Amino acid sequence: MRKQRLQAAGQEYLELEPDLPGPNLPLVLGLHGRGANAEDLSGMAGWLNPEGYRFVLPEGPLPIENAPWESGYAWFALGQQQAATVAKSRELLMALIEEIEQRYATPRERMALVGFSQGAVMALDIGLRSPRPFAGVVAMSGFLYAPETLGPELRTGRERRVLLLHGTYDEVVTIDGARLARDVLEAAGLEPEYHELSIGHQVSPESLALVRGFLERVLRRTPISSPES
């Protein structure tokens, strides 16, 4: 795959695409977890049909230091600044998505959101709030942020495809967050695909196999109808 750093809507992102990309190439927008960067999810492309998708991997806007020798980025702060920083990242990501839709001529029904940890929180937030639905939303080891604010969106978005994956041994984001997200979506009439795995706060071969299968279903390569059809 070809790899390059680009910018859209003032944000830097890593683009991965096949050496010979075909027409109507589906797009996977991957959102990393706290303390990671755009490169963190680039390894998953090899597991998720690297010749079949274009991957856009943006970096979170908040620089953080995990340790003096290690740095990364976050999508939102913890504590009192959480609400404000979630809202800011939501705004930034929606602007990015608007621009890459135009840049790659890829409508949202040919685009999937895949996130891990904080990236999963933002994938759910964006995927459920977007007026135009994405092909699918994948949340690994995340939770549903402020579900009480999602009433109108959920009532009008019951056809949205959502995959929730979580480790039963996750001590960073407990399994309760995934179970609550599932329950809220089901109560609103959605039918999320839900899996609990015997892992911690991590991405595993089993979880990636489930993500690959989900993406193959929601990003199925159907031709775009012509005006005459």
* pLDDT tens digits, 25-81: 999 999 999 999 999 999 888 889 878 899 999 999 999 876 555 579 999 999 899
Give me the pLDDT at residue 43, please: 87
What residues contact 20, with CB distance under 8 A and at least 6 apart? none
pLDDT over threshold 70, residue 229:
no
Query: Which residues have CB under 8 Å from 95's CB, separation 6+?
Result: 9, 10, 11
- Helix (H) or strand (E) segment spanning residue 111: strand 111-116
The domains found in the chain, sorted by start residue, are 2-142+202-218 (3.40.50.1820)
Task: Using pLDDT thresholds of 50, 70 and 90, give the confidence band for residue 156.
Answer: low
* Cβ(110)–Cβ(26) below 8 Å: yes
| pLDDT score, position 23 | 72
Residues 22, 10: Cα–Cα separation, whole Å: 27
Mean pLDDT of 117-123: 97
Residue 154 has pLDDT above 90, yes or no: no
Any idea what the Cα angle at residue 161 is, between residues 128 and 20, rounded to 5°?
105
CA–CA dist 55, 58 (Å, integer):
10
Q: What's the token pair of residue 20?
A: 């010979």
Q: What is the pLDDT of residue 19?
A: 82
List CB contacts of 1: < 8 A, sequence separation 6 or more. Answer: 16, 17, 18, 19, 45, 50, 51
Q: What is the Cα–Cα distance from 157 to 152, expressed in whole angstroms?
A: 9
**Band of the pLDDT at 157, cuts 50, 70, 90?**
low
**What is the DSSP secondary-structure string of 80-91?**
GGHHHHHHHHHH
pLDDT of 227 higher than 60: no
